[in-house]
Amino acid sequence: MFRLLHIEFIKLWNNRASRVLILSYFILLTSIALVAAIKFDIGPIQFHLADQGIFNFPYIWHFNTFITGIFKLFLAIVIVSMMSNEYSNKTIKQNLIDGLSKKEFILSKFLTVVSFALISTLFVFVVSLILGMGYSDYTEISIIFSDLEFLAAYFVKLVGFFSFCLFLGILVKRSAFALGFLILWQVFEAFVRGMIRWKLFDAETTDTIMGYFPLNAMWNLLKEPFSRLNAVQSAVKQMGEQLNLNYHVHWYEILIVLGWTAIFIFSSYALLKKRDL
C-alpha cells in the first residue's frame, strides 16, 4: 500500500503545477482561521465575526467543513490532471509494461484520493479545534467533541467527489475536457431537477429523487450552516417566519455517496481493463 502511495507521490510532487495547487489548497484550508480576524469598526457599528458565534463548539464543525468544502475544486484539478496526464504522456502504458497491474494502478490513484481527503479532514479538525479553543463560548470536552459527524461527512464528501474526478479523468483522458464535463454534469443535474420539478413532482419528492444524483448527494451531506446562526434566526423571527431546517447528517446520505464512490472506482477499473492502450 505504501509502495503505491509512494509511486503516486513521486509523480505528483515532482510536477510543479500539482505541487503549487496542493500547497495553495492546504494554505487556503488554514487561512480559514483568518476569518476570525474580520472586524469592522466603523464608529457606532462594531462587528467582529468571531463574536457572532460561528466559532462556537459544536457549530464550528459544521461551519468549517461547509466552507472548506468549497476549496476542494483546487484538488479536483490536480486529481483530474494526475489521471489524464497518464494518458496524454502515455505513461500509463509504460507503468503497466514496467509491471504495475491495472488493479494496482487504480488502487494507487484511489489511495491518493483517500489520503487527500484524510489529510484535509485532519487539517480542518485541527484548525477548527484551535479556532474554537480561542473563540468558542463553550469549551467543555463533551461539547467540543459533539457533532463530529460533520467531519465524517466531510471526509466522505471529499472521497466521493475526488473519485468522481478520477473517473472523469479516465473516461475523458484529457484534463481540460474532464473538468468541462464536471461542470456540464453539474448543469445537467440542475436541468434534471428543473424538469422533474416542472413536469413531474412537488418540491419534496424532487429533492428526494435528486438526492440520488452524485453531485447532489455530495452537496446534501453538508447543508448550509448560515441559517443556524443566531443573527440569521432572530432576523427571520422578526419577519414572523419560522425556520425549520434539518441540519443533521443522515446515514442514508452517506451511504448514497459511498455507493457512488464504489461505482466510480469500479467503473474506472472496468474501463481500464477493457481498453487497449
Partner 1 sequence: MSSILTVDHLTKRFGYLTAVKDLSFSIEKGNVYGILGPNGSGKSTTLGIVLNVVNKTSGSFHWFDGHTSTHDALKKVGAIIERPNFYPYMTAVQNLKLVCKIKEVSPEKIDEKLELVGLLERKHSKFKTYSLGMKQRLAIASALLNDPEILILDEPTNGLDPQGIHQIREIIKKVAAQGTTILLASHLLDEVEKVCSHVIILRKGEKLYSGRVDGMLASYGYFELKAEKMESLKKFLKSDPKFGSITVENGLLTAYLNEEMDATELNTLLFAQGITLSHLVKRKESLEKQFLTLTKNQTH
Q: Which residues bind partner 1 (CB under 8 A)?
A: 3, 6-7, 10-11, 14-16, 89-91, 93-102, 104, 273-274, 276-277
Q: Which is closer to partner 1, CB of 108 or CB of 220?
A: 108
What's the closest the beta carbon of residue 271 comes to partner 1, in angstroms?
12
Residue 19, C-beta contacts closer than 8 angstroms, at least 6 positions apart: 12, 13
Cβ 178 to partner 1 shortest distance, Å: 19
CB of 27 to partner 1, least distance (A): 22
CB nearer to partner 1: give 98 or 204. Answer: 98
What's the min distance (Å) between Cβ of 14 and partner 1? Answer: 5
Within a 10 A sphere around the Cβ of 277, how many other Cβ atoms? 11
CB atoms within 10 A of CB 172: 19
* Cα 113 to Cα 108: distance, rounded to the nearest angstrom: 9
- The least CB distance from residue 266 to partner 1, in Å, is 18
- Give the whole-angstrom CA distance, residue 11 versus residue 86: 10
Kindly report whether the peptide bond that precedes residue 58 is cis, defined as omega within 30 degrees of 0: yes
Q: Phi-psi region for residue 98, left (φ > 0), alpha (ψ -120 to 50) or beta?
A: alpha
- Closest C-alpha to 150, from 168, 132, 165: 132
CB closer to partner 1, 2 vs 40: 2
SS3 call for 45: strand
Of 7 and 35, which CB lies nearer to partner 1 in the complex structure?
7
Shortest separation between residue 275's beta carbon and partner 1, angstroms: 8
Phi-psi region of 222 (alpha: psi -120 to 50; beta: other; left: phi over 0): beta
Give dist(CA 263, CA 164) in Å, integer.
9
The nearer residue to partner 1, 48 or 93, going by C-beta atoms, is 93
Instruction: Pick between residue 100 and residue 263 the one whose CB is nearest to partner 1.
Output: 100
Q: Closest approach of Cβ 85 to partner 1, in Å? A: 8
Closer residue to partner 1 in complex, CB, 199/274: 274
Compute CA distances 77 → 2, 16, 22, 171, whole Å: 24, 13, 10, 15
The label of the residue with cell 476569518 reads 35
